[in-house]
Amino acid sequence: MPEPTQTKASPNNMADTDIAIVRIAPETSFKNKAYEALKEAILKMDIYATPEPVMLDERALSERLGVSRTPIREAIAMLEQDGFVKTVPRRGIVVVRRTKAEIVDMIRAWAALESMAARLITTTARKKDITALRDFFKDFGPDRLPQDHVEEYSKANIAFHQALISLSESPVLVDLTNDLLLHVRGYRQLTIGRKDRTATSLPEHLGIIEALEARDTELAEKRARDHTLGLAAYVEAHGQELFT
Amino acid sequence: MPEPTQTKASPNNMADTDIAIVRIAPETSFKNKAYEALKEAILKMDIYATPEPVMLDERALSERLGVSRTPIREAIAMLEQDGFVKTVPRRGIVVVRRTKAEIVDMIRAWAALESMAARLITTTARKKDITALRDFFKDFGPDRLPQDHVEEYSKANIAFHQALISLSESPVLVDLTNDLLLHVRGYRQLTIGRKDRTATSLPEHLGIIEALEARDTELAEKRARDHTLGLAAYVEAHGQELFT
DNA sequence: TCATAGTTTTTGGCATGCCAAATACCAGAA
DNA sequence: TTCTGGTATTTGGCATGCCAAAAACTATGA
């Protein structure tokens, strides 16, 4: 379960000279530093490139990061909760590889969460915030097609989806989808062949925005859901060769 | 992110005398035992009963469980990933209390996932499995009203929802909702005043089942969503006095 | 009595070292 | 050369002990 993303400042009213002293920087521990470092490293590496499973070594990592094994082990335990690694007792720590079915499954869950976000947005978000979603695609149009700038469009795409979810004002939806995205994105071959999907993507995005602006709850929900379910179907249909 | 629930037996074909030797019991480590024990303890305690935050002590726990602090700390790190506890550097480990807004938010996410499950079920589940969902409520009817046996109905209720999600054959949906349920259930005052909601619950459940049987994807999704969103609205409206 | 400086205690963070299981490696026999 | 038994090595699991920050406590003085 995700943490609430916020770090609420305690509203305790002290004396009159209350200068919003929140509490000095928690100086992130080695454990957390190791967690972040390992997580980033895992997301950066291309897990699906090699047929052999990717292994991690506690001692090597501790040496690499300049800390003892203890904080490393705690970080590994956290990553295992996230589902990024799996430690096998006297064998080693292996970076988890997702099957196509699992990726598709995750995208479906993502679709569920995003459609709920769309639903909430129609009832609470401000008009200007909704309209601002168009800016993510302002560099694309009939004269500058997304399919001709796949990499760039891909970034705008992800930014759009994250901004969309954020508009729901729901920390749980935000955190859950971010977690899912991390897993799905790790499967970067998703980029391959995305070209033929990119063409339909932009109009669908705009359709979602329009429904949101119209405060059409049911339509916005449906469009958001179908759009992401479309991706799931695409991966399911065109992804087999990408998994060993 | 949740682990896939399965523990797939490796299908490596050895010699001819392959007697399905799967791999001796992994003998769960102290770390995992501690994790399970602490998790259960946290879920069992009534966090919202006292106004003071509930604290945990590493040393006390290690003594209590008869292990050293190391596996305890690793278990704590895992629980922190789950969002059950929060360790504050030189202060202690505090069991996280959810605000009403957070609980409502979680229920909404749950609604999203469950409606997607309903959607999937209409296209893949077997008729007999869907019909079997009625069994959870076979002990209730016009002559034996749910609101007269709230405790019993509550258990049937949860069992029904979990069985429903399972029918989706989606490990991700199952794991995510289970995680959410653990947090929501911890807020056990949810039981209070549930009596007036129980009356409408049963018909709604049956309505969901009917839509599933009719393979009406849209209707099943809508009914599942609205049912759980109804709970969210209920908590939002009637739950303020339950949070300090 | 109350404020304050100084001391002790508590508490999580972390380094170290040993253990046993699993594996890799190697020499000797067939 | 190949199989086999045994030994060295690797690897995660865990116990221990010390450290510094923060809190609790105490003695001192106005």
Answer yes or no: same fold for A30-95 and A100-242: no
pLDDT value for A61: 96
Average pLDDT, chain B: 85
Of A68, A63, A105, A61, give the one whose Cα is nearest residue A83.
Answer: A105
**Residues sharing a CB contact under 8 Å with residue A43, sequence separation 6 or more, in sequence order:** A182, A185, A186
Q: What is the topology classification, in CATH, of domain A30-95? A: Arc Repressor Mutant, subunit A (1.10.10)
Enter the tokens of residue B236: 């939002």
Per-residue 3-state assignment (H helix, E strand, C coil) for chain A? CCCCCCCCCCCCCCCCCCCCCCCCCCCCCHHHHHHHHHHHHHHHCCCCCCCCCCEECHHHHHHHHCCCHHHHHHHHHHHHHHCCEEEECCCEEEECCCCHHHHHHHHHHHHHHHHHHHHHHHHHCCHHHHHHHHHHHCCCECCECHHHCHHHHHHHHHHHHHHHHHHCCCHHHHHHHHHHHHHHHHCHHHHCCCHHHHHHHHHHHHHHHHHHHCCCHHHHHHHHHHHHHHHHHHHHHHCHHHCC
Q: Does B82 touch chain A (CB under 8 A)?
A: yes
CB contact under 8 A, A102 and B31: no
Would you say the C-beta of A56 is within 7 Å of strand D? yes
Confidence of residue B16 (pLDDT cuts 50, 70, 90): very low
Tens digits of per-residue pLDDT, B68-77? 999 999 999 9
Average pLDDT, chain A: 85
Provide the residue count of chain B.
244
> CA-to-C1' distance for B101 and D30, Å?
51
**Residues sharing a CB contact under 8 Å with residue A226, sequence separation 6 or more, in sequence order:** A204
Tens digits of per-residue pLDDT, B142-176? 788 777 787 888 888 899 999 999 999 999 999 99
> CA-to-C1' distance for B79 and C14, Å?
20
* Per-residue pLDDT at A188 exceeds 90: no
Q: How far is B233 from chain A (nearest CA, A)?
A: 13
* Per-residue pLDDT at A11 exceeds 80: no
Domain edges within chain A? 30-95, 100-242
What is d(CA A51, CA A55) in angstroms, rounded to the nearest whole number?
12
CA distances from A63 to A58, A67, A68, A69, B118 (A): 9, 6, 7, 8, 49
What is d(CA A119, CA B229) in angstroms, rounded to the nearest whole number?
11
On chain B, the residues whose CB falls within 8 A of the CB of A113 are 109, 112-113
Q: Does B102 touch chain A (CB under 8 A)?
A: yes
Residue type, B214: A
* Per-residue pLDDT at B179 exceeds 80: yes
Beta-sheet strand order (sheet of A85-88)? A55-56, A92-95, A85-88
User: CB under 7 Å from any atom of strand C: which residues?
Assistant: A 29-31, 67-71, 74, 89-91; B 24, 55-59, 69-70, 73, 87-93
Q: How far is B9 from chain A (nearest CA, A)?
A: 14
CATH superfamily of domain region A100-242: GntR ligand-binding domain-like (1.20.120.530)
CA distances from B114 to A20, A43, A83, A235, B198 (A): 42, 29, 22, 22, 19
Confidence of residue B5 (pLDDT cuts 50, 70, 90): very low
* Per-residue pLDDT at B14 exceeds 80: no
Q: Does B175 touch chain A (CB under 8 A)?
A: no
